[in-house]
Amino acid sequence: MAKTLTVLGLESSCDDTAAAIVRLAPDQSPQILAQVVRGQTQLHADFGGVVPEIAARAHAEKLDICVADVLRSSGLNLGDMDAVAVTAGPGLIGGVISGVMCAKGLSAGAGLPLIGVNHLAGHALTPRLTDQAAYPYLMLLVSGGHCQFLRVDSAQSFTRLGGTIDDAPGEAFDKTARLLGLPQPGGPAVEVEARAGDPTRFAFPRPLLDRPGCDMSFSGLKTALLRTRDAVMAEAGGLTRADRADLCAGFQAAVRDVLAEKTRRALADNPDLQLIAVAGGVAANTAIRDALMQVASAADAQFLAPPLALCTDNAAMIAYAGAELFQLGQRDDLTLTARPRWPLDSTSPAMLGSGRKGAKA
């Protein structure tokens, strides 16, 4: 019988510095003993995006503090850990290196096994951390940097069924907000505006629905929004509140329809999958969630959306993935390297679906 595992996890692949301690009981039930996420939004606010050098430096400064925080709040010591798990990619390389170096130091200093975790595997295994989802299941990862369908068969077996061939939906939401003078991050702002809007007033494209498979494209939608906005402004001399709401509603409906239809296909092509789970910031969108729920129910599948704090970047998912990988025998050592690119499914076309922003997973 498996023994209880207690794993310290570190995450620093983009602009959140995070640490967590997760315990996996012999019956495989997981428990988050402590977790902390220190965001860097303020540090990057003046630059309109994440500045890799600033991010890396902040991670290097904050990782130790985060580790001390979770040890203190769990009442445990490093010696109580069975392993240290760390995001070893994909992500902004400076940040990933900060995390890997910190984990190597802890591992060497305390004599703990080191486990390098793919950040995307962390997201993909979250339904097991939150709901003990049974393998296999379908995962839709929709964030500011990623958009892909994964068939998850084990902690080491992922099949990419499709993904965006250009931008991620979160990027498109953020760009839409920028074009309409709404605050960042754009997704929540666009969603609020869309509530008062008419999704049928403007005809936005549903890219790639005419093509088979689960690949998606969102960059044309951004261009369509820009053109439509300019046309309205040219005609009326400006944008009214109602125009803005209608543009948001039309755009959101287009993203929703594409995600829903491609999810329907992913489930139809994989009839043995009885669960679809989502992760990533865009999964917070109620209209998108509702549409996915309907698709799942029509396919007799269960729909699972973990709590938002565990859908976005965090270290509990890294600690949890580390625990499963530990059970499967994975051990890394001081030769573990930080990888800016690291597709989960090595058989799929290289990095399609990463989104142009790429680094943020």
Contact residues for ligand KG4 (CB under 6 A)?
Answer: 143-145, 170, 173-174, 185-188, 191, 280-282, 284-285, 312-313, 360-361
Output the CA torsion sign for 321, 325, 327, 332: negative
| Binds Zn ion (CB under 5 A): choice among 83, 92, 124, 361 | 361
Q: How far apart are CA 4 and CA 26, in angstroms?
A: 5
DSSP state of 196: T
Q: How far apart are CA 81 and CA 66, in angstroms?
A: 16
Residue 136: asked if its preceding bond is cis (omega within 30°), the reply is: yes
Q: How far apart are CA 150 and CA 148, in angstroms?
A: 6
Q: How far is the CB of 15 from Zn ion (least distance, A)?
A: 10
Q: b vs e for 31-68, b when ≥16 Cβ sit within 10 Å of the residue's Cβ? A: ebbbbbbbebeeebeeeeebbbeebbbbbbebbeebbe
Partner in contact with 187, chosen from Zn ion, ligand KG4, none, beta carbon below 5 to 8 Å by kind? ligand KG4
Identify which of residues 105 and 358 has a Cβ nearer to ligand KG4 in the complex. 358
Residue 313 binds Zn ion, judged by CB under 5 A:
yes
**DSSP-assigned beta bridge partners for residue 43:** none
Residue 142 binds Zn ion, judged by CB under 5 A:
no
Q: How far is the CB of 13 from ligand KG4 (least distance, A)?
A: 9
Q: How far is the CB of 122 from ligand KG4 (least distance, A)?
A: 11
Q: How far is the CB of 286 from ligand KG4 (least distance, A)?
A: 7
Identify which of residues 104 and 360 has a Cβ nearer to Zn ion in the complex. 360
Q: How far is the CB of 17 from Zn ion (least distance, A)?
A: 13
Identify which of residues 37 and 336 has a Cβ nearer to Zn ion in the complex. 37
Residue 171 binds Zn ion, judged by CB under 5 A:
no
Rounded to the nearest angstrom, the gap between the alpha carbon of residue 25 and the centroid of all alpha carbons in its chain is: 26
Q: Binding residues for Zn ion, per CB under 5 A? A: 313, 361
